[in-house]
């Protein structure tokens, strides 16, 4: 039963992270062409890669 709680906790954290990414992406203007990458958004996107 403990394993189920751990898996549910991991799933909840992952869903919260995805919601946080969605909220942060609302601030990005899709019509504007950005000349350089934002360190903030790059860090957000690459933070999850080692876990995948």
User: What pLDDT, in 10s, does the model give residues 15-39?
Assistant: 998 899 899 999 888 899 989 988 9
What angle separates helix 2-25 from helix 39-46, to the nearest 10 degrees?
160
* Tokens, residue 10: 């991991």
Share of the chain above pLDDT 70, in %: 96
Q: What angle do CA 48, 24, 42 make, to 5 degrees?
A: 45
> Which residues contact residue 17 at a Cβ distance below 8 angstroms, ignoring those fewer than 6 apart?
48
């Amino acid at each position: 039963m403990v394993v189920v709680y751990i898996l549910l906790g991991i799933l909840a954290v992952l869903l919260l992270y995805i919601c946080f990414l969605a909220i942060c992406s609302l601030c990005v203007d899709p019509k504007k062409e950005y000349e350089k990458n934002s360190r903030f958004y790059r860090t957000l996107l690459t933070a999850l890669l080692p876990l995948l």
